Amino acid sequence: MTTLFIDSHAHLTDSLYEDIENILTRAQEAGIEAILNICTDKLTLERGWELSKRYPWIYNVASTTPHDVDNEGETMFAFMAQAAKEKKLSAIGETGLDYHYKHSTPEKQQFFLRRYLHLALECQLPVVIHCREAFADFFRILDEEYQVGGQHAPGVLHCFTGTIAEAEQVLERGWYLSFSGIVTFKKSEELREAAKRTPLNQMLIETDSPYLAPQSKRGKQNEPAFLPETAAVIAAVKGISVEEVAKATADNARRLFKLE
């Protein structure tokens, strides 16, 4: 019996991908049963809709990234909001905060994070969050803007690379943590410890492809077929089977994104 995985975060319609049919064939051969395709502008989302028509196991998620909100935030928000309201998205994201690169000002990033959180609540969609070197502001905004009946609305911190303390704060809010190929890197000891401590029922796995190929594929263009390596490393640090990691994370993805 084939072990089945869900890649909770991949940029399939990124311009770096030229041979998408073969990439998706390899994904299925590796046991990838569904992929959440992250779209960051009008072009990638329109490509995503076309891709989903041909491959119904691909689901689209969209928002402007924190990197791009200075330049594209206002022009793209209306388009993304319409797509969400027309039920053409499985989640809102990847929105969030990135104070490492600061391609957009922190103030503008926070402004659009709040707007996308409000949109997610309005449309009853989960959010996919990018957060780098901005956790204090992120948690503050999440607590202020994204609760229903005293509980945090659903979401995932994608490609988690924070500290164990930051991981615990995400988990305390009832959210999911998603681990990428970075967890396989030789120097990622603290990240593996965070994965070890993350309950299986709050964990997702992702490739973030075409970026961040796992250790054995470093330097290559990443793709969903490489996801089992990430699952294997997590299984090893938790002392469980790859099948247990695959089943739990796939079940979590179905629950969070309401997949068919």
Q: pLDDT digit string (tens) for 10-68?
A: 999 987 778 899 999 999 999 999 999 999 999 999 999 999 999 999 999 999 999 99
For the segment 73-89, what is each residue's pLDDT rounded down to a tens digit?
Answer: 899 999 999 999 999 99
Taking a C-beta distance cutoff of 8 angstroms, is the pair 175, 158 a contact?
no
pLDDT-derived band at 232, boundaries 50, 70, 90? very high
The CA distance from 172 to 10, in Å, is 26
Structural tokens at position 206: 């992702």
pLDDT-derived band at 1, boundaries 50, 70, 90? low
CA angle 188, 223, 40 (to 5 degrees): 90
Structural tokens at position 28: 């299925």
Indicate the average pLDDT of the chain.
96
Residues 6+ apart with CB under 8 A from 9: 36, 38, 61, 94, 128, 158, 159, 178, 180, 204, 206, 207, 208
Which residue's entry shows tokens 């997590």?
Answer: 234
Residues 6+ apart with CB under 8 A from 193: 164, 237
For the segment 199-218, what is each residue's pLDDT rounded down to a tens digit?
Answer: 999 999 999 999 999 999 99
Q: Which amino acid is at 151?
A: Q
Residue boundaries of the structural domains of the chain? 5-257
- Taking alpha carbons only, the member of 244, 241, 132, 239 closest to residue 182 is 132
Longest dimension (CA), the chain: 50
CATH number of 5-257: 3.20.20.140
Which residue's entry shows tokens 């084939």?
Answer: 2
CA angle 66, 70, 75 (to 5 degrees): 100
The two beta strands, 155-157 and 151-152, are unpaired
CA of 222: how far to CAs of 9, 14, 22, 90, in Å? 12, 12, 13, 23
